Structure formats: structure tokens, C-alpha cells
Amino acid sequence: MISGETVAGNMPVKDKNILGQVYRCSICGAELSVIKGGRGQLKPICCNKEMAALETINSVYVCSVCHSEFMVIRGGDNLEPICCNKKMSPVRSLLR
């Protein structure tokens, strides 16, 4: 089931909610994304069905000045979020 690009070394851990992890309802197409990952068993339900975890992980950018965090809902090719006049850097540490 692994096809195309896979981020090496970023295999999701079972009982931890991954920052940026996306869940999708197969019936109505609703999508959720984890804004703050914690421990615990996340089991979002929509249309009376458990939502499926997608392989998509939304990128999160953090401002080093004011610590604002942005999540990319739909990525582009030249995304450069700027906060406090500084380029924001993607958060990666939580994906390990």
C-alpha cells in the first residue's frame, strides 16, 4: 500500500496523535486535522462511521518570535508564511 513518495522515518506511532494527521469521512468527505497532538486514542466519528486516517500529514509552521502556529490545509508549491516579518519554519520535531 506504499506508493510514490513516502517520508522515510516518519512512520506514525500507534497510540499517539500526530500533529497534522488528517482523518476523512468516507461518506460525506469531511476532513479533520490534528492541531495539537497528544496521547490517547483519537477516533473521530462522522456519519456514524469511524473516520479513516489518511497518509496525509499537514505541515505546521511556527513563528520563532511570537510562537504562532499555522497549519497548511492545502499546500502550494511556493508557500512562504511570514509572521512578525520573519519567515516561519516548518515544525518537524513532533513527527519523529
* Identified binder of Zn ion from the candidate list 10, 12, 13, 27, rule CB under 5 A: 27
Looking at beta carbons only, is 11 or 79 nearer to Zn ion? 79
Does residue number 71 form part of the binding site for Zn ion (CB under 5 A)? no
# of chain residues touching Zn ion (CB under 5 A)? 12
Looking at the DSSP assignment, which residues form a beta bridge with residue 82? 87
Instruction: Tell which phi-psi region holds residue 94, choosing left (phi > 0), alpha (psi between -120 and 50) or beta.
Output: alpha
Does residue number 30 form part of the binding site for Zn ion (CB under 5 A)? yes
CB atoms within 10 A of CB 37: 17
Q: How far is the CB of 69 from Zn ion (least distance, A)?
A: 10
* Identified binder of Zn ion from the candidate list 13, 79, 82, 84, rule CB under 5 A: 84
* Identified binder of Zn ion from the candidate list 13, 45, 47, 52, rule CB under 5 A: 47
CB atoms within 10 A of CB 61: 19
Residue 28 grid coordinates? 460525506
Q: How far is the CB of 72 from Zn ion (least distance, A)?
A: 16
Chain centroid offset of residue 37 CA: 9
